[in-house]
Structures are given as structure tokens and as C-alpha cells.
């Protein structure tokens, strides 16, 4: 029995070691500022450093938050791709400054208008609040 517990513990440690994202967790909030009746955002893809997260079906007036792990990558920016299909085949993209050095936990809030374009962005180093 002790042998099996040792094997199980070793497997759990190996899974943690190989699949745990590196670096601090960061949060990116997408807020869709649009009148009621506007078609939702199909997808919003967020890239920062080595991580990529996709948020889907963001309704007007709704906010969704993604956790990303940018790691220690040298790219010092956040990239956002917004898709409004089927109401539009046009994809919008936006690149914003990541204000903190690699390895720093941060929070970013991005507002998107009904055309799928970024209208505002604010960022702070964690722990922080925008209130």
C-alpha cells in the first residue's frame, strides 16, 4: 500500500511540475459596451507573453474575465483579437502596452464598443482595484 501511495504522490508532483503555468496569474477583463439588441462578440482572443485565452459570446453590457500566465516572456504587450461573426466578417485587433516587467502580476480592464473596437483600457499591478 505504501508503494502505491508513493507512486501516486510522484505522479501528482510530475503533473504539477509539467502542467502548472509558470509565473504569476494576471487578469484581463473584457467589457462589451453596446446597446441592448446588439449582437454579442463571438470571440475575444487575448495574448500576453506565452499565453493565449479565448473568451466567447460576450453579450452587450457584460464583462468577462480571463486568467492569463504571460510568464517571463520579453514581449511587453497585450494583444486582443475581436471577432463579431456572423454580424460582421471584419476582425478587429488591438495591441496595448503591458506596463509592468515580465513576471509581474497585473490586472487590465478593456472596454469594447459595438463595432468591436477598443475604446478604453486601464491597467494596475496586483493587488489592486479599479474602484
DSSP string for the chain: -HHHHHHHHHHHHHHHHHHSPPS--EEEEEEE---TTPPPEEEEEEEETTEEEEEEEE-TT-EEEEEE--TT-S--EEEEEEE-TTT-S-EEEEEEE--S-TT--EEEEEEE-TTS-EEEEEEEESS----
Q: Is 13 left (phi over 0), alpha (psi -120 to 50) or beta?
A: alpha
| Backbone torsions φ then ψ of 30, nearest 5 degrees | -110, 120
Arithmetic mean of pLDDT, 62-85? 79
Render pLDDT for 74-101 as a digit per residue (tens, 0 to 9).
555 778 888 877 766 677 888 876 667 7
pLDDT at 101: 75
> How far is residue 63 CA from its own chain's centroid?
12
Take residue 64 and report the three cell numbers written for it: 468577462
pLDDT at 42 over 80: yes
Model pTM score: 0.77
Amino acid at each position: 500500500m505504501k508503494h502505491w501511495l508513493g507512486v501516486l504522490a510522484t505522479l501528482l508532483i510530475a503533473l504539477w511540475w509539467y502542467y502548472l503555468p509558470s509565473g504569476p496569474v494576471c487578469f484581463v477583463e473584457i467589457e462589451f459596451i453596446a446597446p441592448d439588441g446588439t449582437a454579442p462578440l463571438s470571440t475575444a482572443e487575448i495574448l500576453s507573453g506565452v499565453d493565449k485565452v479565448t473568451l466567447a459570446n460576450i453579450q452587450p453590457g457584460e464583462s468577462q474575465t480571463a486568467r492569463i500566465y504571460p510568464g517571463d516572456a520579453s514581449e511587453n504587450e497585450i494583444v486582443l483579437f475581436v471577432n463579431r461573426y456572423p454580424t460582421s466578417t471584419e476582425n478587429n485587433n488591438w495591441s496595448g502596452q503591458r506596463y509592468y516587467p515580465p513576471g509581474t502580476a497585473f490586472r487590465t480592464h478593456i472596454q469594447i464598443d459595438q463595432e468591436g473596437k477598443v475604446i478604453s483600457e486601464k491597467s494596475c499591478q496586483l493587488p489592486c482595484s479599479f474602484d
